[in-house]
């Protein structure tokens, strides 16, 4: 039941983000007489659409983070061709002008999130069930989740590459095995997004028992903590080793 709710949240959140992005794309394509090639208006609508999609998803009980992420991806893929030259120039200027500011805010927010993660990881939550108090964690579930994460990442990188390589042609396919290994290892580091999703979602609390909800939250926190500390510490050495073999 919990897995079904989790899958529904992801799918609906993605759909909400795509719908908002496609609606804005239609406005840009057929509403040129309204926008009047105003670059400031176009950039403002893009930011406003992302924020509105986030609010709509949160109000409906889904994940605003996933919605805003896929809204941005869809806009980047479809709406770029519908923007006026002034809008493209304005967006590039905004990114270049405030790049340092955005990176600083991102660094501070990420640091604060990992600070909260460190505090939460030491808070042992327990749940009372049938008159007894138990610790809401499962070593077996944590190990299974870690194995599933490794296998899923391998399928996402190696199997998908093997499937699409014939479409591109072996001569034009420029991604070698060492680069795929770097992609595989880099994707194992789970950081702010899983932790933010598991702490912000309300579906687990409403559809599952308190013990099940806490076990899932504990598992995500352990995986984020392990990958961010252990794997992230090994990753630079691994990447340098792979890059030397590429050369």
- What does the pLDDT read at residue 169? 64
Burial 193-211 (b: 16+ CB within 10 A, else e): eebbbbeebebbeeebeeb
The mean pLDDT value of the chain amounts to 77
Q: Find which of 10-19, 112-121, 229-238 is predicted with most confidence, using mean pLDDT.
A: 10-19
Which of 125, 136, 106, 243 has the alpha carbon at shortest distance from 182?
243
- Spatial separation of the C-alpha atoms in residues 181 and 211, rounded to whole Å: 37
- What does the pLDDT read at residue 52? 92
- What does the pLDDT read at residue 1? 61
Average pLDDT over every residue of 24-52: 80
- What does the pLDDT read at residue 199? 65
Query: Where do the structural domains in the chain lie, given as residue ranges?
Result: 2-97, 127-246
Which of 20, 21, 16 has the alpha carbon at shortest distance from 75?
21
Per-residue HEC secondary structure of 9-53 comes to HHHHHHHHHHHHHHHHHHHHHHCHHHHCCCHHHHHHHHHHHHHHH
- Tens of pLDDT, residue by residue over 63-103, are 888 898 899 889 888 887 777 777 777 777 777 777 777 77
Average pLDDT over every residue of 116-136: 56
Q: What is the CA radius of gyration of the chain?
A: 22
What's the pLDDT band for 19 if we cut at 50, 70, 90?
Answer: very high
Question: Residue 20 pLDDT > 90, yes or no?
Answer: yes
- Spatial separation of the C-alpha atoms in residues 46 and 199, rounded to whole Å: 27
Indicate the Cα dihedral angle 148, 182, 66, 72, nearest 10°.
-160
Average pLDDT over every residue of 20-46: 79
- Spatial separation of the C-alpha atoms in residues 138 and 116, rounded to whole Å: 22
What's the pLDDT band for 206 if we cut at 50, 70, 90?
Answer: low
**What is the helix (H) or strand (E) element at residue 129, kind and residue range?**
strand 126-129
pTM: 0.60
Q: Which residue has the higher pLDDT, 192 or 53?
A: 53
Question: Residue 187 pLDDT > 60, yes or no?
Answer: yes
- Tens of pLDDT, residue by residue over 107-118, are 887 777 777 777
216: its two tokens: 């899932």
CA distances from 170 to 164, 174, 181 (A): 10, 8, 18
- What does the pLDDT read at residue 131? 47
Question: Residue 132 pLDDT > 60, yes or no?
Answer: no
Question: Residue 60 pLDDT > 80, yes or no?
Answer: yes
- Tens of pLDDT, residue by residue over 142-162, are 889 889 988 988 888 888 888
101: its two tokens: 């500011």
- What does the pLDDT read at residue 15? 92
């Amino acid at each position: 039941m919990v897995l079904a709710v989790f899958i529904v949240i992801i799918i609906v959140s993605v759909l909400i983000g795509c719908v908002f992005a496609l609606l804005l794309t239609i406005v840009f394509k057929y509403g040129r007489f309204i926008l009047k090639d105003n670059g400031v208006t176009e950039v403002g609508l893009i930011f406003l659409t992302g924020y509105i999609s986030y609010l709509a998803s949160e109000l409906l009980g889904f994940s605003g983070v996933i919605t805003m992420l896929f809204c941005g991806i869809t806009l980047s893929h479809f709406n770029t061709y519908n923007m006026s030259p002034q809008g493209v120039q304005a967006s590039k200027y905004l990114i270049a002008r405030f790049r340092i500011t955005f990176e600083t805010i991102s660094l501070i927010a990420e640091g604060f999130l990992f600070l909260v993660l460190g505090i939460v990881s030491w808070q042992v939550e327990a749940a009372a069930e049938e008159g007894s108090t138990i610790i809401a964690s499962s070593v077996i579930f944590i190990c299974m989740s870690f194995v599933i994460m490794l296998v899923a990442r391998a399928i996402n990188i190696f199997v998908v590459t093997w499937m699409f390589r014939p479409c591109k042609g072996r001569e034009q396919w420029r991604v070698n095995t060492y680069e795929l290994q770097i992609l595989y290892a880099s994707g194992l580091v789970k950081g702010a997004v899983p932790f933010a999703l598991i702490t912000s979602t309300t579906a687990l609390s409403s559809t599952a028992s308190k013990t099940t909800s806490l076990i899932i939250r504990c598992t995500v926190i352990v995986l984020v903590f392990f990958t961010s500390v252990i794997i992230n510490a090994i990753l630079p050495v691994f990447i340098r080793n792979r890059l030397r073999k590429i050369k």
